[in-house]
Amino acid sequence: MFADASLITRDGVELVSRLWRPRGDGPWPALLMRQPYGRSIASTVTLPHPDWWCSHGFVVVVQDVRGQGDSGGCFRGFAQEAQDTEDTLTWLRQRPEVNGRIGMYGFSYQGVTQLLAPVDCQPPDCLAPAMCGLNERDHWSCDGNAHWWHLGLGWGLQLASLQARRRGDHQAWDEMRRSLEDGNYLREGIAMLERHDPEGMALRWLRQNPERESDWIQHSMPHRWLQLPMLLLGGWWDPHLRGVIALAEHARAAGGRPELHIGPATHLQWWPESSALLLNFFQRHLITSLSDSAPLQSADDIVIRLWDQVSESWSGPNDLNPASITASSMGSAQTTDQKRWHLCSRGLACLDPEEGQILGTAPDHAGGVMIVHDPWRPVPAIGGHLSPSAGPCDRASLDRRSDVAVFTGAPLESALALNGTPKLKLRVCADQPGFDLCVALSRLPLGTNTVQQLSTGMLRVRGQGALELSARELDLQPLHATLEPGDRLRLSIAGAAWPAIGINPGQPGMACSAPSADCRVISIELHLEIAQLWMLPLLAPQHLGTPAD
């Protein structure tokens, strides 16, 4: 049973919501989602339909944010949400069907609307933001100084299409929809955004320089909101995973005790048990009386559950130290706390998959290898967190290409736990004033020809500095994987990851975008004498400060 209802914000804008009510007499606790995609959808691409929540005793309220759906005003992205969140919470507490207890839920944009509020806003009782973050550059649009190309354009055109439908421009809607179906958006997406949504947030991001961190917006949460009960859901193949991890860090630093679950999920495909996990969280914090709740935990006693990409099982509190989770030993697996691996090649790592090596100790002569990036046939992106085919994958065919440098370790004598953020350091230069390093960390299971990709990362260098031989560092996507005895570790390096990342043209005056006749062939020199691979902690030390309010 549902009905629509409206509120008028303090500046006179009407915001329209859809309310689903349980059967019987209320009042009930409320679950609030604020989103830009149409309230009737209610994020059912990943979350249960509101009727399911109602069957468990919740009123569900899904609101069209300002300037979207049937709500009034102009849509301006994240910056508009803080004040509207406060007005919506005030309105909701006055509704007769709501008993005063409110939880907020949703993922992606619907996650951000849970995080932004005025400093003095009365908070809800609990939050469940999934797959989102507060930093517009690092958590929403860029990796390694490069824009997300496929994702940035695709999401921007989705929002632009919603605006076109809102103003009745069906021709524009059809044009953008067709471009997504036939792949033309990868080449013409920027021009379509300039025509149909020139003030849109996605276009602003794609125009901003990823290298100028100070130009980008870092949003903040009210300090006391960080202390609320918070359930954080992330996926190993979700582009916003680092944002979710950063939220956990900020909440811990503020004295909160967030629950962090990172599972086998892409942005739009989650693990089946996630619905029960959310239900349990909201039942504990909105339905169970305070007197029946579990005793208070210490600030360090938080819940962290990670899905192992190899064993395909969950690691819980008995397996991990949630207060200081690092690249640590798990069970009988070797520790990687201080472990650093080294790379070695005599120049054939792009042609012979066994020639490039990962070594446990630094070699006397590490050598190097040349990667030739040809924009006519750029190395494609598969799997991972940024490609059109996000998720787990076998990258064996990519590693056989002659423009991918491959380094493989010896069979493991015992299990090896990789838990945290892989980091790579090496000396690099190119023969053009611009190059990309697109890196994958993989597992070669014993007795198979499979190359199980575990994590990907990227670094873009532009300008005359690309011609100089310099030490470069890049971070890969966080991972959790326990390699088995006999498995081998592999690192693959290429000069492109198309269309996850736009092509670097090797010319500073040109935009990085689709391949064109003006893109140059780029020879990338990898000098391996200082090359090292190691793991950073999944969560930063607890003394890390929070963003200023």
List, for residues 78-135, the tens digit of each pLDDT value: 999 999 999 999 999 999 999 999 999 999 999 999 999 999 999 999 999 999 999 9
Looking at the chain, the whole-number percentage of residues with pLDDT higher than 90 is 90
> Which is nearest to 56 in space by CA: 291, 311, 302, 280?
280
Are residues 286 and 344 both part of a single domain? no
Whether 127 and 154 share a structural domain = no
Q: Does 227 fall in a domain?
A: yes
Residues 263 and 409 in one domain: no
**521 and 493 share one domain:** yes
How far apart (Å, rounded) are the C-alpha atoms in residues 285 and 429?
Answer: 54
Q: Is 112 contained in some domain?
A: yes
Q: Where are the alpha helices (DSSP H) in 167-200?
A: 170-182, 185-196
Confidence of residue 304 (pLDDT cuts 50, 70, 90): very high
For the chain, counts of helices (H) and of strands (E): 11, 23
365 in any annotated domain: yes
| 67 & 172 share domain | no
Give the tens place of pLDDT for each residue, 390-443.
Answer: 999 999 999 999 999 999 999 999 999 999 999 999 999 999 999 999 999 999
Judge whether 402 lies within some domain.
Answer: yes
Model pTM score: 0.93
Query: In which band, very low, low, confident or very high, does the pLDDT at 180 lie, cut at 50, 70 and 90?
Result: very high
Q: Which two tokens stand for residue 471?
A: 């030490």
C-beta of residue 404 within 8 angstroms of C-beta of residue 496: no
Same domain, 234 and 184: no
Residue 297 pLDDT greater than 60, yes or no: no
How far, in whole angstroms, is CA 475 from its chain's centroid?
Answer: 14
Q: Which is nearest to 309 in space by CA: 405, 445, 501, 412?
A: 445
Q: What is the mean pLDDT of the segment spanning 14-40?
A: 96
Secondary structure letter of residue 290 according to DSSP: G
Is the bond leading into 210 cis (omega within 30 degrees of zero)? Answer: no
Residue 205 lies inside a defined structural domain of this protein: no
Render pLDDT for 229-245 as a digit per residue (tens, 0 to 9). 999 999 999 999 999 99
Q: Is a pLDDT exceeding 70 seen at residue 546? A: no
172 with 230, same domain? no
Q: 36: closest CA among 100, 108, 120, 95?
A: 108
Asked if residue 310 is part of any domain, the answer here is no
For residue 455, pLDDT over 90 is answered with: yes
Q: Does 75 lie in the same domain as 40?
A: yes
Count of CB atoms situated within 10 Å of the CB of 220: 17
Query: Is position 333 within any domain?
Result: no
CATH of the domain at 393: 2.60.120.260
Are 144 and 500 in contact by the 8 Å Cβ rule? The answer is: no
What's the confidence (pLDDT) of residue 542? Answer: 57
Using CA atoms, how far apart are residues 143 and 386, in angstroms rounded to an integer? 9
Domain count, the chain: 3
pLDDT of 430:
98
Same domain, residue pair 378 and 505: yes
Q: Residue 41: pLDDT above 90?
A: yes
Supply the mean pLDDT for the chain. 93
pLDDT at 469 over 50: yes
Per-residue confidence at 288, pLDDT binned at 50, 70, 90?
Answer: confident
Q: How far apart are CA 423 and CA 357, in angstroms?
A: 17
Please indicate, yes or no, if residue 190 is contained in any of the structural domains. Answer: yes
Longest distance between any two alpha carbons in the chain, whole Å: 77
Mean pLDDT over 4-23 rounds to 98
User: Looking at residues 154-170, what average pLDDT do you find?
Assistant: 97
Domain boundary pick from 231, 263, 290: 290
320-370 pLDDT, tens per residue?
433 333 333 333 344 445 689 999 999 999 999 999 999 999 999 999 999
Q: Do residues 448 and 548 lie in contact, with contact meaning Cβ atoms separated by under 8 Å?
A: no
Give the structural domain span for 154.
148-199
Q: Rounded mean pLDDT of 1-21?
A: 96
pLDDT at 290: 45
- Token representation of residue 361: 């100790």
The CATH number that applies at residue 285 is: 3.40.50.1820
User: Given pLDDT bands bounded at 50, 70 and 90, which one contains residue 319?
Assistant: low
Res 5: pLDDT: 98
Residue 194 has pLDDT above 50, yes or no: yes
Going by pLDDT thresholds of 50, 70 and 90, the confidence category of residue 540 is confident
Q: Given the structure tokens 């230069």, which residue do they identify?
A: 429
